[in-house]
Amino acid sequence: MNDTLKERLGLLGQHGYDRSLVGMEVLEAEGGRARVRLPVEAPVQNMGGALHGGAVATLVDVVGTLAIMTADRDGRPGVSTDLNVSWLSPAPGGSTVLVEATVLKSGRTLAFVQVDVRREQDGVLVAQGRMTKFLS
């Protein structure tokens, strides 16, 4: 992992809206892949006490961007041009989710990533997202 990527990793969860992902732990970030663990605590819960849909979309963006940065030789985070999420199962409060992003393709100006969010306890797929980034 290069110094630029390490520096940017240190900023995750420190600024702006990303601060809602308090407790996020980066498990892996290299070679077009990124894996993180996130406890489903109050900052990311909906009114029903489960993982909030907006938090899932934020995870797709943040973890997907991290994976893209590891695939791009210049470590560019890019700008999102497209993001979609399918929610499949709940992740209850007090549980933990594992988020895995895999770059599908990274070119000169566009990168594509798929992100799976699973309950750590039983591996059930909570949500799946895809994102496109413009790399400038």
How far are the Cα atoms of 12, 31, 69, 107, 130 from residue 40, in angstroms, in the given order? Answer: 17, 27, 26, 34, 21
Q: Where would I find the H helices in the chain? A: 3-11, 53-71
Alpha-carbon distance of 119 to 126, in angstroms, equals 7
Question: Mean pLDDT of successive 10-residue segments in the chain (136 residues)?
Answer: 67 70 91 97 96 96 95 93 98 98 97 98 98 97
Alpha-carbon distance of 22 to 32, in angstroms, equals 24
pLDDT value of residue 118: 98
State the amino acid at position 124 in one-letter form: V
CATH superfamily entry for domain 3-134 = Hotdog Thioesterase (3.10.129.10)
Count the residues in the chain: 136
Listed by start position, the domains of the chain span 3-134
